[in-house]
Each structure stands twice: as C-alpha cells, then as structure tokens.
Amino acid sequence: MSNTRALLERSPTAWGVGLALAGAVCFSAKAIVVKLAYAHGVDASTLLAMRMLLSLPLFLGALVYTSLKSHNSERLTLRDYGLIAVTGLLGYYLASLFDFMGLQYITAGLERLILFTYPSLVLLMGCAIRQQWPQPWQLGCMGLAYVGLMVVYGHETVLTGGNTALGSILVFLSSISYASYLILGERLLKRLGTIRVTALATLVSAAAILVQINIQQPMSVIWQQPAAVWGWSVVNAVLCTFVPVFAVMTAISLIGAPRVSQLGMVGPIATMVLGTVILNEPFTIWHAVGTALVLAGVALLTLKKHKESA
C-alpha cells in the first residue's frame, strides 16, 4: 500500500490522467458487456440483479475498509438514510434498469451518446429548482449536443428501424434518473464520502431489483443462468462498475474534477470503437459527425461551467 502511495506522489499528473482514462473506458465498456451477455438469452432484470449481487460485496468491503481508516466518520441521520434510499433507487436501480432495457433495442454507441448528455439534464433541473432560465450560451451548447444526437438517432433509425425509438426513450429515462441522482446526492457525496454513499445506495438497489425479480419470476432463475452470463456479469460488476468508481475518485484527487471531466470525453469514442470492433455495429460518417457534435456541445457546457466555478 505504501509503495502505491509513493508511486502516486511521485507522478500524480500522469497517474491521474491514466486513471481518468481507464475509468472512462471501463464505464463505457459496460454497454458492450451487457450486449455480449444478451446473446445468451438473459433478460434485463436478471442481468441487473446479477450485477448488483456481484458488486455489492466489493462496495461493502470498501466501506468497511474506509470506515476502519477514518475514525471520524460523520454519523448518519434518519434524513440521510432516507435520501440515500431515494438516490439508490434513482441512480443505481432505475437508471441501470432503464439502461439495460434500452440496450436490448439500440446500439451501444447510441446508448452512450444519450447517456453522455446528462450534464444538460442536470443543468435544466438545477435551473428549474432555482426558478431561472438557462443562459443563451448554455442553450446553444445543449442545442449543439442534441442536434448531434438526432443525427446519430436518425441515421440508426434508417439503418436498423425496429424499436430504435423505444430503446432511445428507455435510455433517456436512464439519463434522467441519473441526473436526478446527482442533483439529490451531490451534498451527500461531498459530506459523507463517495464510497459510503455508493455502498449504501448499492445495497438499496440490490434489494429493489431482488424484490422485482421475486415478483416477476422465481429467484432460482438467477442461479440457473449459463456460465457465460455469470462470466460477463463478473466483468460488468468488477471492471465496469467497481473499478472505474475508484479510478475516477483517485483521478479527481490527483488532477481535479474539471480535468477528469475533460478526459471523460473519451468514453463515447471508446464505446463506438468497441461496438464496431467487437459487436460489428455500424459506424458511418453520420455517426462520426453526430458524435463530434455531441462531444463539442457537452464539452463547451461543462468546461465553461468549471471555468466559471473556478
């Protein structure tokens, strides 16, 4: 442990950049892993339940470890527990469920672009709470991003047709749920710590999806899944859920949130590349143009926000 700390202190910028990029790529690979698991006939609810069951012990272990290291942890109030329950249902249950359901109908690349627009939803929710209109430059950035999204969506509708609209709506609902989680959980995360809130929210999410599974079908369906589905679920829980949380947290502590946010722009590009190489998803000039517009809109929106905050 001391050797790792020494390495981080020796070249913090290089480590921070590397961890931020690794976290962005791992997060983005989630859609690819889910698609690969779907090839074996598993449904969205069962796959989500397996992900939560496998990642929960990791987060609880991290919670115990951080609690032992920090003896001055703030005590949670009844209100804190209530907010954590709500954020867990929004950010780790509903957001994930809508996302997994949407991935049954659209490509991984389109899914990542839709999710990537969540900063605009956070902005709109914040403006609604403060009862004020977004500034003209903010509307311009959002317009640029959504024009790019419509370019990719329109082209994929022509290429694949089918249930592209349904899949896009489900993933957009996921983005709304995640943005709501960020709005409600921002103060909790800052005051109680990311690991603490994430572990408890994951516990709430796991309980919610298990209740849902128990209503829909026998619980035994989880244990009857083939080895391939369990294998992809382990990858999803560890490499696409647990590892990137720590990678991004460490990167923020080393190089700051604004720079980590900038490096996160690699996420949609990574998903497009992985989707094309691994899943043989289409990638045309329209995908490139649309992706560039989305990245430009979100980048201008978040970078100017960080600059004004600074």
Residues 221-276 have pLDDT tens digits of: 899 999 999 999 999 999 999 998 888 888 877 887 677 777 888 889 899 999 99
Q: 0.85 exceeded by the pTM?
A: yes
Residues 146-180 have pLDDT tens digits of: 999 999 998 888 777 678 899 999 999 999 999 89
Using the structure block, give the residue that is written with the tokens 């560890």.
238
Instruction: Please report, as a single letter, which amino acid is at residue 165.
Output: A
Q: What per-residue confidence (pLDDT) applies to 5?
A: 56
What is the chain's length?
Answer: 310
Classify residue 193 as left (phi > 0), alpha (psi -120 to 50) or beta.
left
As to burial, measured by CB atoms within 10 angstroms (0-12 exposed, 13-18 middle, 19+ buried), residue 124 is: middle
Tell me the mean pLDDT in the region 31-54: 94
Cα-atom radius of gyration of the chain, to the nearest Å? 19
Neighbours of 41 (CB within 10 A): 11
Flag whether pLDDT at 140 surpasses 70: yes
- 52 contact partners, CB below 8 Å, separation of at least 6: 92, 96, 202, 205, 206, 209, 210, 237
CA atoms within 13 A on the CB side of 151: 18
